Amino acid sequence: MYTLAEMCDNFPFDATSDSVGKKDLQCFKRVLNDFCNSGTKSDAFSVYFCFCEMFRLFGNGYKATQKLLELLADHEYHSGGLLTKHRDHYVHSVYVFAIGVAIYANNKPYRKIYNDFYRCKDGDMNFLKNWGLTALFHDIGYPFQLAHEQIKSYVSELWQLPAVPGVAIVNFDSVLKTDCDRTQLETDEKFTDINSLLAYGVSTRMGYDRGYVQDILDKRTSPAPDSFMDHGYYSAAVLANKLMTDNVVTQQTLDVLTAILLHNSLNRYNIECSHAVTATEHPLAYLLMLCDELQNWDREAFGYVSKKDPLAWKAEFDITDNKIAVNYIFDSFEVEVPGRNSGYPNRNVLALQCDNGKSKFIGNIYKVVVPHTEISATAGISAKTRRRQQYASEEKFVNLCDFAVAIHKSYQSIYGGADFDELPLETKMSNIRQAQSYMYKLELVNCFFSDKELDYPVVTDFTDGSDGNEDDLGFLAREEHLRWVREKLADGWHYGKSYIDAETGKEDRAKRDSLKEHVSLVPYDLLPESEKQKDMLMVRNMVPLLYEQGHNIRIYRYRYGRKPDLNIAGIGHRHLNGDEKQLKQAVKEILLKYSEDFRVVVYSGYATGADQLIVRCANELGLATKAVLPLPYEEYIDSVRLDSKLHGTFTEQDEIEMRHLLAQAVVCKTVEDSRYTYLKASEYIVSRCDKVIALWDGEKTPLTDEKGNPVNLGGTYHCIEMARDKGLEDGKDIHIVHCSRKA
């Protein structure tokens, strides 16, 4: 089984496309990967943002869809709690999109069906655009259903009538009216409203009587609606209204709309003699219905009954040419409730239904689609791991776009440059990620933000020195540089300065961006003062920019401290001989264990081998690292290069990777020793550590020679002995990962 991120990674994001730039596709690949790994609302927003910007939806990118998407999220958050059963649809839609991308990427039979149907080829962005429109917008009409369900819930609770009154949507005709000239459909007919267009589209693909379908659609907004209001219809109608620009609707656009229209109740309950959808008759509707059913994990519950329903917290996938298999992971199959019989009614129904391939869960899928390949679902049990990067700040993710624009304006007012709308997608995302990082940064200095009036000290300036926090400005500036470095490296940038004229010092920014090369990919301590001031500006602007977002947002400081720091020394042999993957797994398990209760900081000398392996593990987990070098920065890199070449090779790529690791250190300090190169640096690291991770072969290297002269000082065994001398215990404080070393 694989993660959803691993399945999506097989999609051809590196393909050459006439409609989307390669850099934008790589940017989109990254945000989709981030979302699949986190499942957070802010990362879901990034997927929406990048998709809308790439394909310039409605002619104006994300801004044209901003209200449409924000209102869905806002309505769910504020209104969902009034219902008995309701779960998130904002994040859910991005998960649905990701599953569809994974199926297209890993299942050749479906990919061939889609490509043949629309006469496109592998790597063509036709699928990505059409599927994105279908999946990401398939629930945008949910606010209509929410309003309807709220009245039903209220009346039912108040009077418990046998026939529950409902509400109707009136004056919707203005949304439905259209006079578009549909020259790109396979008909000369002109349509005067959206319902007639949708009925034509359903009839064309599904073979249903067109007049019969239109009659059903016309009753969707009648003064006496059915007891159930179909959000699928309203999602299709609202999206149709937004998409009908330039007086043209293509057949593929109509397929997007009818896929959304069919996915919820129309094809299941409303059309008599309806049939399950096949991939060959309507590829988009088929995929949406399938993925909508499969996305049954990690959905935030809003309704008060839904909050009691156990739900899988994770899913694993195995998608090949011959099968689509999903394994749903539950925290437990059964929740024991005092005073109730065991398992009543808290036994997780889905878990029971997934015991075999003929389960009720799979049976429900077969009712809505005719699978083109084997589909199976199983259930597993695993203790739920606490989700990382969850903070006390109230996440106003619906404002992230405006927030990012405000951040860019604050830089622009001092340093100049283009307006936000004119920036490349990668740069826009950089501003968005900076906005997303505010919650994490505030936690680091014992703060959070909220729009509530709370009885906590209010922070108005990070440089006022209150509460003994006078170094918050410098501390957060280092964290911002670290965020920027990791972002650049993830986007494929590297250290270099070939874009800078050696004589004049003038930068060729076009060349810089083309090469993805930057001279500032170095530790914060090595930055020129002018670059440090940019990071300082971000910190100084945190308070005013948050206030500018409205909602009476204030920054508060906790009365008690955040997670305490735990300093871990990362040491070991320079020339390792072993399975690197296994070594990293062992190191990560140790780091993850401590990071549950502490803010872990890894100290390292950044030598080749164990030092750099441990640092890589820390970086991959998002932990802080500090470099303690035995020589000045450039001299030390020269020293490592020379030593490595004596024992093997040290390529230019090895040097770049070392520089990139050092660039991610929040502190880079030099501790020199004129006689024993590594001794003072090693003593410094051990003296500050609370724990030790050592990649060691167990050999007690002599610390003196036959004449009693000191040898091997500052080496792995010596560091372990120094840690023992300061009272650290093997197994409890000193964690030894056994490995051999090259001769």
Into how many domains does the chain fold? Answer: 3
Residue 740 is given by DSSP the state: E
- Domain boundary, last residue among 321, 355, 381: 381
| Domain assignment present for 264 | yes
As a whole number of angstroms, the distance between CA 526 and CA 524 comes to 5
Same domain flag for 21 and 162 = yes
Same domain flag for 238 and 368 = yes
Same domain flag for 573 and 548 = no
State the average pLDDT for the chain.
Answer: 85
Closest CA to 473 of 536, 556, 524: 536
Closest CA to 295 of 122, 557, 100, 63: 100
Same domain flag for 574 and 544 = no
Same domain flag for 498 and 550 = yes
Over residues 22-71, the pLDDT tens digits come to: 889 999 999 999 999 998 888 999 999 999 999 888 777 788 777 777 76
Over residues 324-333, the pLDDT tens digits come to: 999 988 876 5
pLDDT class of 351 with cuts at 50, 70, 90: very low
Please give the structure tokens belonging to residue 733: 């404080």
Cβ-contact 440, 389 below 8 angstroms: yes
Same domain flag for 673 and 697 = yes
Amino acid identity at 473: L
Give long-range contacts, CB 8 A cutoff, 24+ apart: 191-197.
194/237, 194/240, 194/241, 195/237, 197/240, 197/249, 197/254, 197/257
pLDDT at 185: 81
Please give the structure tokens belonging to residue 289: 């219905």
**Quick check: 604 pLDDT over 80?**
yes
As a whole number of angstroms, the distance between CA 219 and CA 224 comes to 8
Cα–Cα distances in angstroms (integers) from residue 736 to residues 267, 361, 693, 729, in the given order: 61, 47, 6, 11
Higher pLDDT, 148 or 576: 576
Same domain flag for 464 and 482 = yes
Amino acid identity at 483: R
Cα–Cα distances in angstroms (integers) from residue 422 to residues 53, 61, 400, 515, 529, in the given order: 11, 11, 18, 20, 28
As a whole number of angstroms, the distance between CA 420 and CA 20 comes to 19
Is the bond leading into 345 cis (omega within 30 degrees of zero)? yes
| Domain assignment present for 208 | yes
Which run of H or E residues covers position 670? strand 667-670
pLDDT class of 342 with cuts at 50, 70, 90: very low
As a whole number of angstroms, the distance between CA 169 and CA 144 comes to 8
Give the range with max mean pLDDT: 269-273, 402-406, 694-698: 694-698
Cβ-contact 724, 680 below 8 angstroms: no
**Quick check: 238 pLDDT over 50?**
yes
Cα–Cα distances in angstroms (integers) from residue 36 to residues 94, 96, 550, 626, in the given order: 9, 11, 30, 29
| Domain assignment present for 391 | no
Same domain flag for 358 and 451 = no
As a whole number of angstroms, the distance between CA 523 and CA 526 comes to 6
Amino acid identity at 280: T
As a whole number of angstroms, the distance between CA 327 and CA 315 comes to 6
pTM (2 d.p.): 0.86
Q: What is the SS3 assignment for 177?
A: strand
Q: What is the CATH number of the domain that holds 462?
A: 1.10.490
- Domain boundary, last residue among 331, 366, 381: 381
Please give the structure tokens belonging to residue 383: 């203790």
**Which structural domain range is residue 657 located in?**
565-741
Cα–Cα distances in angstroms (integers) from residue 481 to residues 288, 484, 487, in the given order: 41, 5, 10
Question: DSSP states of 122-168 as a string?
Answer: TT-THHHHHHHHHHHTTTTTHHHHHHHHHHHHHHHHHH--SS-----
Over residues 146-161, the pLDDT tens digits come to: 766 766 766 766 666 6
**Quick check: 275 pLDDT over 70?**
yes
| Domain assignment present for 386 | no
Percent of the chain with pLDDT over 70: 85
Q: What is the SS3 assignment for 285?
A: helix
Closest CA to 149 of 65, 70, 234: 234
Residue 61 is given by DSSP the state: G
